Amino acid sequence: MKVNQSVIKDLSLKEKIAQLFLIGFHGNECNSDSEISKLIKNIKPGGVILFDKDMVFNKPVHNIKSPEQLKNLTAQLQEASEIPLFIGIDQEGGLINRLKPEYGFPVTKSHQELGNIDDTTVTQQEGALISEVLKQHGININFAPCVDLALNAESSIIAKRERCFGATSSEVNKHAQAYVQGHQENGVLTACKHFPGHGSAAGDTHAGFVDVTDTWESDELEPYKYMIQKGLCPVIMTSHIFNGNFDDKYPATLSKKTIQDLLRDQLGFDGVVISDDMQMRAISDHYGMKESLKLGLEAGIDVFCYGNNLLKEQIDLADAISTIQELVENGEITEERIDHSVNRILWAKAGLNL
């Protein structure tokens, strides 16, 4: 099926809701007997996210084994899907790198390394190199660049992993722009993250609740303003951090004040908003599935990411879809709200010429 805006008219409510999910899976092939093939054909999720390592069961191979295997896998995934899939990956470069040289992929530079070189031509070339490899292997969205500011040098999940172009928005802005322009050369979508800013945090939302109320700085919003104004921000990924400057009750992913009021209304963002992994403990330890999905939809999330690579318990996608369907049928969420997200998703997919 070719993706265009008329597609939404042909989808049932359940099929529309399924487009709101991007899921991870175990295995490195998608043949007719595989669980992921059956899930794609029967439940029709909007996309998948790929990992190289199995973080739950510590198996050496998750989805990525070699260039040839990956090319075959992504082709099989798309072939199984009636509506073209987002096939996403975290391939920032450097340490955040699912396509490792040991599997046969090129060496990449981290954001920090690119910031230290401080030549936007080099950064754009790196963005083009990364995205060329992604495109060659059937991956159409990169969950990068990380536009967090390196405000906390001791941050184990951000600065210590060399994920920042710099500590100021002026540094981050120019390199994020170049990095995204490199991806545009190859028609690969990018997602600026982690909104509204994770760079000052001491903790890691993978592990639990993280509060940046007292450390967050307004400069952390500037890269988003800049990239939105430049038209270089098709997708934004939210953080699960708690920031009382915007919402004294909910973490960013579940916060209407942060997503709808700040990101959409004040900053004027009309692209796709995707959650960080909903199985991170900052969410999963504090909110059940129904509550987190309802709050996320009310907040303005378009795509819920469930990587199935953090908890032993996998998301029951059919159950998640039924949960949202019940919310619509009970009048707690309108079908129009679902349509808004599906329209954004299909618009982004149409731009990829899938």
For 280-311, write each residue's pLDDT tens digit. Answer: 999 999 999 999 999 999 999 999 999 988 87
CA angle 349, 314, 95 (to 5 degrees): 65
CA angle 191, 311, 153 (to 5 degrees): 50
Q: How far is CA 136 from the centre of its chain?
A: 20
pTM of the predicted protein model: 0.96
- Nearest-angstrom CA–CA distance, 24 and 94: 22
Domain spans in the chain, listed from the N-terminal domain onward:
102-301+311-351
Q: Token digits for 171?
A: 């540094």
Those residues of the chain that have pLDDT short of 50 are: none
CB 298 within 8 A of CB 333: yes
pLDDT given at position 339? 97
Residue 324 phi/psi, 5° resolution?
-70, -40
- Nearest-angstrom CA–CA distance, 17 and 3: 16
Burial code (b: 16+ CB inside 10 Å, e: under 16) for 4-21 equals eeebbeebeeebbbbbbb
pLDDT given at position 95? 96
CATH superfamily of 102-301+311-351: Glycoside hydrolase, family 3, N-terminal domain (3.20.20.300)
